[in-house]
Amino acid sequence: MKRILAVLVAVIAAAGPLRGDNFVMKNGQVVEGKLKSWDEAKKTFTVIVDEKGTTKTFKMNDLKARFPGKTTWERRAEYLAQYEKTKKPAVKPTWESHQTLGKWCKKFLLPEKGLEHLRMARQLRVEKLVGDIEAGKIKPDDELDHRLRIAKWLERELGLFVESKEEYTIAYGIKRVLLGEEPSADLHYRLGKWSQEIGLEDMALADFERAVALNPKHSSAKDAVNRIRNSTEFKLKMLGEEYDKYGRAWHISVAIEEGVDKKFIDGWKDRIQGLSEYVWNITEGQFYIADCEIEDNTSEGKIIVEKGKLDWRGMDNKEGSGVLAYCAASGTPSWEVHCPGITGVSVLAHEIFHGVFGLPDEYYQNPMCECVMKSAPNPQRLCDTSNHIGGGSNRGPPGSEGKTCWQIIIDRPEFKATPKHPNPLWVWAEGGPEKMVPAKTPDHVEGPRNVGGEVRWQRLQVKEPPKTVFMILDN
Ligand SMILES: [Zn+2]
Ligand SMILES: [Zn+2]
């Protein structure tokens, strides 16, 4: 939530009751819920804040803006009904059918059901392969290729990484049997070459190392070990896997609520790549966006570009005064950023820090905290004990009371105590953390950007975040 110029309390009385909404409060808090009652005499309003019907009462005077929409629990209930009534009865006992349904569930707020169907798709596809081999439709010699195809499909299409690894391991076992049982340096060398050809560098490395262990004079194996160990690509991949283990490589999606052209989607691609770089620099190279799906004509995603606002800079107007963007369900797994079509990268950085880290706004202090969580234009840095100014009236999620932004991030359990500040592996570019330079993409709300730096990891100098992988669904 950014700076406010207008107080839109009047909107609330005009809109009908029992409609799901996001209530943006003046202290920066965003309350997701449905309006239950409006008390003119007491100057208060009451909101239903969850599916159990829990209510909370707020002072009208504390409300900044209200954005109509359905709550996540209402949407989830609708999708579940649709799933039970039409989707599930229509699923065929084929892997293709379960794949389609699984992807639908994942997208429409039913992740557990989605996982069930994707796993079923894998089971059916493997069963079909085995059946086809038994029936003579596929030659046993071709099993290896088919297993590899399944492994790649699990990894790239279904995002089932553990299952993919299992299939790769089965394929590897078949290959090993085909090459012969005697473990020798040469056998491991050939297995390593094979793994390398199919893109399994980590498995290849393990075999090359086994080859060297069995025969320290095996020069091809030694060369192969050195080549992999010194390859930038390999190390970046390892770095990415390391970050992914601790929730530090983010997987997000952008949902554009209406149909748009390629140019608009490309603009968002640039924005998200820029956002990843900002996140990387602000967090001293400890977080970035690993992949991002951008889809138009859809309503569900982590970053929602609202309908009718494609050429707007603000949530209420083209010019970008008032609320520029906001984040609902901050600091929970179901966080959602709402924004117009033209949004500054620094605004997105502020919002995604609400979403992922649950950081509170820091602009109801006087003076404000010199931090990305202050109002726009905001510096692209995080406050710590050396400069944090307390006194904001907003509260972050439980556990964040009175803490600096860095401390809140460090203490979040999902990162398993791996983020550090200062990050010992990070070297600031010339000028250091205090130096602020103009934003790369000038916009009227872009604050100054820090100079950035590099992560020095395993003799690798990573100057930029590993590139974000995009998946574009242009409907
Ligand atoms: Zn801060
Ligand atoms: Zn602060």
The CA 376 to ligand 2 mean position distance, Å, reads 15
- Give backbone dihedrals phi and psi of 305, rounded to 5 degrees, phi first: -90, 110
* Span from the CA of 380 to the centroid of ligand 2 (angstroms): 13
- 408 Cα: distance to centroid of ligand 2 (angstroms): 10
The model's confidence at residue 270, banded by pLDDT at 50, 70 and 90, is very high
Give yes or no for residue 14 having a pLDDT over 70.
no
Residue whose structure tokens are 């117009």: 340
Res 49 pLDDT > 80:
yes
Distance, CA of 268 to CA of 305 (rounded, Å): 10
Calculate the average pLDDT of the chain. Answer: 89
Termini Cα distance of the chain: 30
Q: Which amino acid is at 28?
A: G
389 CA → ligand 1 middle, Å? 8
Q: Span 324-340, mean pLDDT?
A: 91
Is the model's pLDDT at 410 over the cut of 90? Answer: yes
pLDDT recorded at residue 396: 63
pLDDT, tens only, 89-135: 999 999 999 999 999 998 888 989 999 999 999 999 999 999 999 99
Scanning the structure block, which residue is given the tokens 């009451």?
46
Planar angle of CA 431, 435, 439, nearest 5 degrees: 120
CATH topology of domain 10-69: SH3 type barrels. (2.30.30)
Going from the Cα of 389 to the center of ligand 2, the distance in angstroms, rounded, reads 5
Q: Which ligand places an atom closest to the C-alpha of 365?
A: 2
Return the ligand number nearest the Cα of 379.
1
Three-state SS at 44? strand
Q: Give the distance (Å) from ligand 1 centre to CA of residue 382.
A: 5
| CB of 427 closer than 8 Å to CB of 281 | no
Q: What is the pLDDT of residue 11?
A: 36
Tokens of 322: 């008032």
Rounding to the nearest 10 degrees, give the CA dihedral for residues 72, 53, 67, 394.
-100
Residues 6+ apart with CB under 8 A from 136: none
Domain ranges of the chain: 10-69, 90-240, 249-473
- Is 267 a residue whose pLDDT tops 90? yes
pLDDT at 2: 41
Between the CA of 370 and the centroid of ligand 2 the distance, in Å, is 7
**Distance (Å) from CA 390 to ligand 2 centroid:** 6
pTM score of the predicted model: 0.84
